[in-house]
Amino acid sequence: MALSKTIQTALNDQIGREFYSAYLYLSMSAYCASRNLPGFAHWMMLQAKEEAGHAMKLYGFIEDRSGRVVLQAVDKPPSDFKSPLELVTKVREHEEMVTGEINNLYALAASEHDYATQIFLEWFLTEQVEEEKNSTLLVERLRMAGENQSALLLIDREIGSRTAAS
């Protein structure tokens, strides 16, 4: 069964949001690199790659369901932040917004009795639990560190050891 036009449009919109997420994390990576925080820059770069992968997963699903991918313009992300804490707080807020959008997509698929899309979106729902957990952990660690530069550098070193998700 082919995708409905409503589902196809909503999935295309999500592709745009996922590419924006990739662009946002790429901008955050550049900011962190400019602040001599290579661990944070590395973590954000991996996030950018992961988000681009999410967009491509949606792209492939639309094609698999005989739909048409229609790419949209990607907005310019912010490039300056007051502090690493502000940056990771924005990461958490962004991930919470993405979770809401995935939930909306799932509800739309349910309302249209599009079971294949519901099953496909379950992967994204699970992924968002991990994304929110990881971003919340970073926010809380930076809050605990406060203005302690040594603690910031320890956190930077720790998250710099992150490897790409499979």
99 near 108, Cβ under 8 Å? no
pLDDT at 163: 81
What residue spans of 35-83 are helical by DSSP H? 38-64
- Determine the distance from the C-alpha atom of residue 154 to the mean position of all C-alpha atoms in its chain, rounded to a whole number: 24
Q: Rg (Cα) of the chain, in Å, rounded?
A: 17
pLDDT digits (tens, 9 = 90+) for 45-74: 999 999 999 999 999 999 999 999 999 999
DSSP tag of 147: T
**In degrees to the nearest 10, what's the CA dihedral of 3, 58, 137, 146?**
-110
Q: What residue segments make up the domains of the chain, in order of their start?
A: 5-159
pLDDT at 165: 62
Provide the 3-class DSSP secondary structure of residue 24: helix
Give the helix, strand, coil percentages of the chain, each rounded to 5: 75, 0, 25
Residue entry with tokens 């729902």: 125
CB atoms within 10 A of CB 72: 12
Per-block mean pLDDT, blocks of 10 residues, the chain (166 long):
94 98 98 97 96 98 97 96 96 97 98 98 96 95 93 92 70
* Architecture of the domain defined by 5-159: Up-down Bundle (1.20)
